[in-house]
Amino acid sequence: MIGAMTDPETPAPTPTVRRARTGTASATKAKATPKKPAARKRKPADPAKAWVRSLARTRPGLVPFVNDALAGMYGHPVWQRVHDPTSELVLTILSQNSADTNAEQAFESLRRAYPGVPATPGMPRAAWPGAQGAQPEGTPPEEARAADRAAAPRINRPGWGGIGLEDAITPDWDAVEQAPIAELTDAIRPGGLANQKAPRIQSALRTIREATGSHSLEFLGAMPALAARDWLTAIDGIGRKTASVVLLFSFGTPLMPVDRHVERVSLRIGLIPPKATADEAHELYLAMLEPDQMHEAHVNLIQHGRRTCHARKPACDACAVAPRCRFIDRRAP
């Protein structure tokens, strides 16, 4: 038999050599540098605090300048409670997307439709604060009611844009909550958007009663500011602005309500970023102002928006903030 020939130019395959295992690999692993622990992820910076630091760095002294300039124009408003918190809540709901004067009319109409009980037992209805019936006998009913309303003492608070409410009895909130929705809608129609606000008011009153056993919100005054705001904003239809208004004006809670006037003025001056939402603006002001500055800043910014920094034709020549306003000069310091 002729054996297979091997091509001399083709190298023979190298045989596989199995080497005995030694402890070298294990030793190498043992000597390997231990892995470094994963770097901790940095906690995201608070956007509001970051903005305030940036503002202090790029436009130093702007916030105290604005506060002082507005105080020079409108004074230093003094906080005092004017309405109980439930009335403040309902009045603020009525003022949503409506003029304050219209909200007043709706609240007065609500109070006449569902009158409350006087604080003094046995007081005749004609003697109730703001009650009907003080006109001479024989006066036509509509004329008598109009005269009574005109003569009734009024109460108002800083920052409110109406003439004030009659100093009268609080509405019967049980009756308001249980009223037929069509009836309640008609009662608050003078305030505008009644079809939306009537169910919102009833829902809020129902939620409060089911959670607390009554319609009183007095317990919120003992809660921390943000916890109280969170409690209110958990109610359907209540946002940060409405909750902040109720808490600031009912208890002096250090919160900064941002309505359309505050937002417009703040954007023009450059106190808040151009793309900040209304909710973000609330948090920005909490980081920007000291607790004892909230009430004055809110009231004076609203006054400025109504009286000077109008939406269409702002009276910039009469504005004490003008030297540092980015609406007038994009490079203002």
Distance CA 192, CA 106 (A): 8
For the record, the structure tokens of 154 come out as: 């009024």
Report the predicted TM-score, pTM, of the whole model to 2 decimal places: 0.80
Distance CA 333, CA 330 (A): 9
Mean pLDDT of 289-318: 97
HSE at residue 43, side-chain half, CA atoms within 13 A, is: 2
User: DSSP assignment, residue 255?
Assistant: -
Q: What is the pLDDT of residue 124?
A: 42
Q: Where in the sequence numbering do the catalytic residues fall?
A: 241, 259
Task: Give one DSSP letter per residue of 187-236, joined into a string.
Answer: HTGGGS-HHHHHHHHHHHHHHHHHHHSSS--GGGGGS-HHHHHHHHHTST
CATH match for 48-78+256-324 among 3.30.559.30, 2.70.98.10, 3.20.20.70, 1.10.1670.10: 1.10.1670.10
Q: Is the pLDDT of residue 118 over 70?
A: no
- Helices 294-307 and 240-251, packing angle to 10 deg: 120
Q: What is the pLDDT of residue 2?
A: 39
Q: How confident is the model at residue 41 (pLDDT cuts 50, 70, 90)?
A: confident
Domain ranges of the chain: 48-78+256-324, 85-118+126-251
Q: What is the pLDDT of residue 10?
A: 42
- Residue scoring higher pLDDT (256 or 3): 256
Mean pLDDT of 227-249: 97
Distance CA 316, CA 19 (A): 91
Distance CA 170, CA 216 (A): 12
Instruction: Say if residues 51 and 325 touch (Cβ distance below 8 Å).
Output: no
Q: Which CATH class is domain 85-118+126-251?
A: mainly alpha
Q: What is the pLDDT of residue 44?
A: 74
Distance CA 213, CA 233 (A): 19
Pairing mode, strands 165-166 and 154-155: antiparallel
Distance CA 170, CA 43 (A): 48
User: DSSP assignment, residue 165?
Assistant: E
Q: What is the pLDDT of residue 42?
A: 72
Q: How confident is the model at residue 144 (pLDDT cuts 50, 70, 90)?
A: low
* All residues at 6 or more sequence positions from 95 whose CB lies less than 8 Å from its CB, including other chains: 102, 103, 191
For the record, the structure tokens of 78 come out as: 């003094």
Cβ–Cβ contacts within 10 Å for residue 181, how many? 11
* All residues at 6 or more sequence positions from 86 whose CB lies less than 8 Å from its CB, including other chains: 170, 173, 205, 208, 215, 216, 217
Mean pLDDT of 158-164: 91
Mean pLDDT of 225-229: 98
Instruction: Say if residues 176 and 93 touch (Cβ distance below 8 Å).
Output: no
Do domains 48-78+256-324 and 85-118+126-251 share one topology? The answer is: no
